[in-house]
Amino acid sequence: MEVLKTTDLKKIYQAPSGEVRALDGVNISIAEGEFVAIIGSSGSGKTTLLNMLGGLDYPTSGEIIVRERNLAELKNEELTVFRRRNIGFVFQNYNLLPILNVSENITLPLKLDGLGQDLNFFDQIVDSLKLREKLYSMPSTLSGGQQQRVAIARALSMKPAVILADEPTGNLDSKTGIEVVGLLKASAAKFNQTIVVVTHNEEIAQMADRMIRIEDGKVR
């Protein structure tokens, strides 16, 4: 079953040097439960594509369909709610709130959406990502790998259809990076979630079910 699709997706910027086609007619389709890596050189358009897939930016033209909803047709407030309930994000810099402990960071999206905590699901996530002993620790006391695991747990907490990860191993050493992506893959498989990872790391990309290569704003 298709969970995410783009049709003739374009993002065009006007720069002093002229028109920049960050995305130039991108057509992709990703099935439910797939683990897909988007790869490409710096400036190829891969992060722009991820931002579009997550509804963090609007396209110049084309369609982005997530769970049969066209993101470009949603108003700002509708898009915010849809994104929070259907798309989980994992960023290179973790984006944990320093004033909240691990448990509070993980459950923050639930509180923002006014939802009660599913204790059984919370326990499954915490144990899958080996965070049980760190629940009441503050982010500043954690290693990079531990902070990224908290970010993954937070992304999983809303049971989203899609998890988008932008260079999730960029601040980690090679061994820790592979371990974190392995945990992300295992957790998403366990909870039947789709993963799309942007990476320049070929070793990480090889862990995916499929790779999508993008260069000069086009899928190659």
**E-assigned strand segments in the chain:** 2-15, 18-31, 35-39, 61-66, 69-70, 87-91, 162-166, 194-198, 210-215, 218-219
Q: Has this prediction a pTM greater than 0.85?
A: yes
Mean pLDDT to the nearest integer, 129-137:
91
Domain spans in the chain, listed from the N-terminal domain onward: 2-219
> Confidence band (pLDDT; 50, 70, 90) for 28?
very high
Q: Residue 15 gets which letter from DSSP?
A: E
Predicted confidence (pLDDT) per residue in 135-183, tens digit: 999 999 999 889 988 998 898 888 888 999 988 887 778 888 888 788 7
Predicted confidence (pLDDT) per residue in 71-95, tens digit: 988 888 899 889 888 998 888 888 8
Q: How far apart are CA 162 and CA 4, in angstroms?
A: 8
pLDDT at 7 over 90: yes
CATH code matching the domain that covers 2-219, chosen among 3.40.50.2300, 3.40.50.80, 3.40.50.300, 3.40.50.150: 3.40.50.300
And the tokens for 208? 């995916």
Q: Mean pLDDT score of the chain, rounded to an integer?
A: 88
